[in-house]
Structure 1
């Protein structure tokens, strides 16, 4: 990496974190406002079989389907044209798709055009989020000084969680201050306009960041789209194995646990969301501590602590979820402590596996594929087990995946103290 003037390191962190936070604000805003979107874009009882089909496709499948594609395509952009260029592209894509959601016509005014526009917006959002992880992971870790890659890595999930909390807060603010008619008429659109404006701010910050790809690699022949997969199949499979347990634990504990408490323990919806919000703040504060610890003791102890801890404790923790607010909060916070062993250092671990020439695309595609296969399906598998009258099987499913990832971590080389190729 080129020499960094004083003060540039902080700008690098801000460029990656602010942009990543905006990306995830836009992504989660859709989830929090999905009820209003469904009512306006996919009205019930239309009699048009195409509308519920598009609704199901848009809400449940499109975003996660496009994430591996985004990881591959935009990761290749980061490897070919530079990390900074890819980061500015991802945030513009997310801002544009957020604005597209905001101006999506209702079914009542434009018929099936409304659902089609929304599907296109979600396609672009999924593409952007998949590319964002590939580019920002590479950018963050390559920006770190000696012995600080774990710390810098932790800001990936600091900013992701901040974006999730911001989306939840903005959605809650509009729902609490507007009446139901206003929310359905225009209120649900406003958070997406805010997201588009935030994307412009993030674009400005990222434009001033320093490129982390070295001059040597910038001058070398550009890698092909599938060079990472063809040249490094073992490393690609390794990313899937590293991610499988981590992503399902992350989605269960940060997104699905309030629903799990409602469905399986009859927990009050409002109290479940409050407990989830408190635990997310706790989780966000833990990330830099986990990153700094990994710079001192290595990555493997934290990864194994996470995976073995979840494999052993996931079942008793989920069974401990009752109708008490304190019990749910304690279960969530205990899981967050274990989960930090993965999330705080996932970016560093992934970046340390691939050579610089194909690092972004090498990370982007297998990581996003694993998230789509294991993380994105977690709520649906949990609900399926409940419908099959086998709710106790879901914690074992999570535990087994974490155990499989633990076996991968055992074979993983320790690279925390090694110099990173740039």
Structure 2
């Protein structure tokens, strides 16, 4: 049955009455996604909450009482009960391990600095979960991410969040146009996290004051190396710390303990000028250190490009954009040159320090908030 073309768009941009619009909300158990679910249920939408069980902390970390995942599922379920909508828990542990954790471990072993949260959004939440939402006959899927979806002349566009301090665009650059058409981000326009917590209090949610998660979900204590050693026994093999001329300055307990740009914790004190990790030679188990100026990078090779611009990516021969090469850094001016449908060269107008393979390079509109996608930095 075709919809009446005169049906006005509801607040989610769908030409249906609110009560007939089904929304699957990806619920992590935190305050952000809980507010999204509560807000949409309060508006009268047909809300279905879905929480993914991605990781068994206790089994993976061999730690008793590591029940973070269980607490989050419990919190999501309580919110659903409070607001009166159905809630489902899906076991995605195998998918998550295959699509995210294994690559994370292997990337670290290869000397890269991976960003597993991006892969999780790309390969799990916005792929498998999104397909589950379609299977549930949802009209769209909503998440608690701080990013904006706007309608432009050529369709849905991705834009930075109104609150720059909460913006999560760096972690969502690989969202495809097809996914963006189906996704909604109801919190992206809020001016601050305080507004989100105020909404949680308004709806009487039990998670209103729940603290934000600061760590990667499967590295709850921030100790990457110990997790990798459990996933890949024998990964932390010792080796030498050398300068750029190959002179041995000390020894290390495993390349996985180091990242490009690292200065502290090298254990080679007594030097006049500070030294930084400038390269990781995985094959020879060497950590190569040098002066800070060697960290400066101007040309950044990028692959697996996801393009969200209006023109075909191959036609981007020389375009002025802004880019982020780390989640914690502000966008910087750059020139983008497409090399193929999925590879590019990014020239930073001002060299950046500590650009590392495995990190994302995200493309932003110059003088605006639109995100044009991005790609993965590699060694070239």
> Where on the TM-score scale, by shorter chain, does this alignment land: which range?
under 0.3
Q: TM-score, normalised by structure 1?
A: 0.23
Select the structure of larger CA radius of gyration: 2
Q: TM-score, normalised by structure 2?
A: 0.25
Higher relative contact order (CA 8 A, sep 6+): 1
| Bigger proportion of residues as strand | 2
| Bigger proportion of residues as helix | 1
